């Protein structure tokens, strides 16, 4: 049986991955090892093998890196989502999308715990991450065939 690649320790050589991907991987790897609030920008840049100048051109903050991570997970889920569930009830389609998302997030469990602990300390951080989550939900619900453009759209996204 083939082993699944560990996204926190990619099999791909560093030079074959984009600096953006290396920065996202660096932050998630560091967050799995230590409290999110203790991770500095220079440490992320060093782990990613990029200069602080290059890092700054790509991301203005750790929050922006988390946004890119969310997009990465969305992309994984959306790539795996096909029309095979088109005839299923909405509830089943949404459940399938949620399960695919949980599977995509599973390798990052420890990093996500570290990030969640830190976000609980700051209401502004929670609000910012809520917007990232709503953007993600918009695509997840679209993949499940759920309309979010009606008057109840914002409520559905929450």
Rounded Cα distance between 13 and 22, Å, is 10
Which residue in 20, 84, 101, 5 sits closest to 56, CA to CA? 20
CATH fold of 14-157 reads Tetracycline Repressor; domain 2 (1.10.357)
Six token digits for residue 35: 């409290």
Q: Domain-by-domain residue ranges, the chain?
A: 14-157
Length of the chain as a residue count? 158
CA distances for 143 relative to 20, 24, 84, 104, 140, angstroms: 26, 25, 11, 16, 5
DSSP code per residue over 13-80: -GGGS-HHHHHHHHHHHHHHHS-GGG--HHHHHHHHT--HHHHHHH-SSHHHHHHHHHHHHHHHHHHH
pLDDT tens string 99-153: 999 999 999 999 999 999 998 888 888 888 888 888 999 989 888 888 888 888 8
DSSP 3: P
pLDDT tens string 79-90: 987 677 778 888
First to last CA, the chain: 40
Q: What is the mean pLDDT of residues 66-74?
A: 96
Rounded Cα distance between 22 and 126, Å, is 25
pTM over 0.85: no
């Amino acid at each position: 049986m083939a082993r699944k690649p560990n996204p926190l320790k990619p099999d791909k050589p560093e030079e074959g991955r984009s600096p953006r991907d290396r920065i996202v991987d660096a932050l998630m790897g560091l967050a799995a090892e230590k409290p999110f609030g203790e991770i500095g920008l220079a440490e992320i840049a060093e782990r990613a093998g990029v200069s602080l100048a290059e890092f700054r051109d790509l991301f203005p903050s750790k929050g922006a890196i988390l946004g890119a991570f969310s997009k990465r997970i969305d992309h994984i889920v959306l790539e795996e989502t096909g029309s095979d569930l088109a005839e299923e009830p909405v509830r089943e389609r949404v459940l399938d999308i949620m399960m695919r998302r949980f599977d995509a997030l599973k390798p990052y469990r420890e990093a996500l715990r570290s990030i969640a602990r830190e976000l609980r300390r700051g209401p502004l951080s929670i609000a910012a991450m809520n917007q990232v989550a709503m953007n993600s939900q918009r695509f997840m619900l679209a993949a499940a065939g759920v309309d979010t453009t009606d008057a109840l759209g914002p409520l559905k996204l929450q």
